[in-house]
Structure 1
Amino acid sequence: MGDRGRVVTEGREEGTDVGGFVGIDVSKEHLDWAVHGEAADARLAHDEDGLQELVRRLNELRPALVVLEATGGLEMAVLAALSVAGLPVAVVNPLQIRNFARATGRQAKTDRLDARCIAHFAAAVQPPLTPMPEATTIELELMLARRRQLTGMLVAEKNRLSGLIGPRKVARVVASIERVIKTIEKELEKLDDELKTKIEQSPVWRAKDELLRSVPGVGPGTSRTLLLDLPELGTLSRQQIAALVGVAPFNRDSGKAKGRRAIWGGRASVRSMLYMASVTAVRCNPVIRAFYDRLRAAGKPYKVAMTACMHKLLTILNAMAKAARPWQAAA
């Protein structure tokens, strides 16, 4: 039966009956869940009581597989609770669910309909199980998510400040924005120190962090993002990891028309950080710099050349992580 048989039986005692395929739509307030092939669905509050009730009901059902969407960290508590209970659970990219919904003709969208679609996806695709994250990983992921929120707030406040010109530049408003900016910057600095300490306290994470940061152009921010938002680094082929991040160009041809190849989808947080790392690498990394210069000399536009550098840098990092060798050996 291959992977399908493994998904159905893993995590259960041999010979016990298992139920159907469950899809859970996780939102900030609610947990909507459905079983594939059954008309009924259910909604629980996304709190401690709701999680305990969800685990109780799923333990009674004994599902073959439970599938969640990756929702920017909201799913982590659910994943941990189900994994601790010994339930077979998989977390998948929301883009996969959206593409599956379109392919199966689903147009309407509500949380409960999403849960049914995820359950259908679970039964049809049966994705591999997601191992339970260690406590350090969960904490680091949530801390990094908070850092992204603070960074977004800082950018927004700085944009507001730069927009105050002429008669709009009221002293009290400027002072208010400047106070908020200083507060956010202090909080970011504190969070960065905590992230650094947390990584240094874990020998495994410290080794991974040092390995990635051995590459010229890869700083602590890029390393942390790769470690937490791209745990597949070093486990996939270069084609797979590029497609996962969203730096693999796809053809856009139809009939005789030949469109420009373009990148799309993938993990935006990783791609954004990888771009900033590539900008730095073009200046200080001899391999990436030479690659960039060859592309520009060949007449490639800046964006095309930078996307290619992102792809190359990611390929190097993936190979290093797979071989567990630092930059000097990989270069």
Structure 2
Amino acid sequence: MKPSEYNTDIAGLDIGKLHLDASLASGDEHQKFANKGNDFEDLLGWLRRHQVVRIGMEATGGYEHEVAVFLIEHGFEVIIHQPLEIKRFAQFMRIRAKNDKIDAKVIALATAAKKIVPMVYHADLSELSEMMTLYEHFSSLLAKAKTFSERLRLETTKAYNDAIKAELTKAKKDILVAILKKLRGHKYLNQRYELLKSLPGIGPLIAASLTIRMPELGTLAHGKAAALLGSAPLDRDSGTFKGKRTIFGGRARPRRHMYIAALSAMRMTKSHFKPFADRLKINGKPIKVIIIAVMRKLIEAANLVLQRQSPWVTTCHTLT
């Protein structure tokens, strides 16, 4: 496909700490802007002059967040690509040169080349996302402190480490309380949160994680929720060779929580998922394969209850 064959209503942004490089998928139009909220109006004017409606950008560890929110609030479709996706696309297109202008062009072409689920935005998710990230950071630090305590022998060093563990435990509890309070303070988010909590194995933390990290749930076609989470098995076949199905990609943070939810759901005697897991076990499936299969069913169930705006207890019998 030649660049001129791409729609002119699609653009790519290469995100830097200080600057944004914008390019259209079609033609050679390129412009550099400051990555500051006060200067986004210039970017907005440029995009509207070129009748852009869909914008792609890379996940950059947070530098993309402010401009992504700004563009969504002004009616644009925003696609957040993983850096590896753009790298592989450039290799496929045999684009070897690299600079900010070229990177913006590659992102624009990648965005135009494939229909991808756009980023879903809710004003309150921005703050909640940062709070959830902090909770996950505390969890990671606490896990490391617990592991490190096994190597300590002196009472003094144990005492210091125990004090850190106590502080992190309290901080985790406090931030989770704050997250849940904020969720419950907003009708739309709280409604989604309560529906997700109706699912087997999904408690307050995991329901909050899905509400914040997967706002697309409820809008996806069957099978797409598992793919977005990264729990859908992918083929690895070639000719007569049949490789093992594997999972990769997707959203790692909510996937870790869903792994825990699956473990819980497959043990619940009144759960739809326990007989499903038991059948897989009888058929000789490895335990990790069973857990991933339950994860896949569970995230599709989450998508279903949000689509139907009905708790799991009234819809579980229809899940296939």
Q: TM-score, structure 2 length as denominator?
A: 0.84
Give yes or no for the alignment of 1:146 onto 2:146: no
Give yes or no for the alignment of 1:329 onto 2:317: no
Map 1:149-164 to 2 at 5 A.
149-164=137-152
Map 1:165-314 to 2 at 5 A.
169-284=153-268, 285-314=270-299
In structure 1, what is the Cα distance between the partners aligned to 2:184 and 2:39? 37
Structure 2 partner of 1:22: 12
Tell me the matched-pair count. Answer: 304
In structure 2, what is the Cα distance between the partners aligned to 1:153 and 1:106? 40
Q: Residue 74 of structure 1: CA displacement?
A: 4.2
Measured at CA, do residues 250 and 57 of structure 1 come closer, stay the same or move farther in structure 2, by a change above 3 Å? closer
1:23 is paired with a residue of what secondary structure? strand
In structure 2, what is the Cα distance between the partners aligned to 1:322 and 1:207? 12
Map 1:41-60 to 2 at 5 A.
42=32, 44=34, 46=35, 50-60=36-46
Structure 2 partner of 1:11: none
Q: Residue 296 of structure 1: CA displacement?
A: 0.6
1:117 is paired with a residue of what secondary structure? helix
Structure 2 partner of 1:315: 300
1:138 partner letter:
S
Structure 1 partner of 2:124: 136
2:185 partner letter:
Q
2:206 is paired with a residue of what secondary structure? helix
- Residue of 90, 110, 119 corresponding to 1:101: 90
Q: Residue 30 of structure 1: CA displacement?
A: 3.5
In structure 2, what is the Cα distance between the partners aligned to 1:79 and 1:155? 33
Measured at CA, do residues 108 and 91 of structure 1 come closer, stay the same or move farther in structure 2, by a change above 3 Å? same
Superposition RMSD in Å: 2.7
In structure 1, what is the Cα distance between the partners aligned to 2:85 and 2:78? 13
- Residue of 71, 76, 80 corresponding to 1:82: 71
Q: Which moved more, 1:178-187 or 1:291-300?
A: 178-187
Q: TM-score, structure 1 length as denominator?
A: 0.81
In structure 2, what is the Cα distance between the partners aligned to 1:146 and 1:111? 31
2:235 partner letter:
N
Measured at CA, do residues 128 and 319 of structure 1 come closer, stay the same or move farther in structure 2, by a change above 3 Å? closer
In structure 1, what is the Cα distance between the partners aligned to 2:314 and 2:176? 29
1:154 partner letter:
L
1:253 partner letter:
D
1:250 is paired with a residue of what secondary structure? coil
Q: Residue 106 of structure 1: CA displacement?
A: 4.0
Give yes or no for the alignment of 1:69 onto 2:53: no
Structure 1 partner of 2:106: 117
In structure 2, what is the Cα distance between the partners aligned to 1:158 and 1:311? 31
1:262 is paired with a residue of what secondary structure? coil
Q: Residue 98 of structure 1: CA displacement?
A: 3.9
Q: Residue 227 of structure 1: CA displacement?
A: 1.0
Where structure 2 has 5 or more consecutive residues not aligned to the other structure, the ranges are: 1-5
Structure 1 partner of 2:79: 91
In structure 2, what is the Cα distance between the partners aligned to 1:320 and 1:198? 22
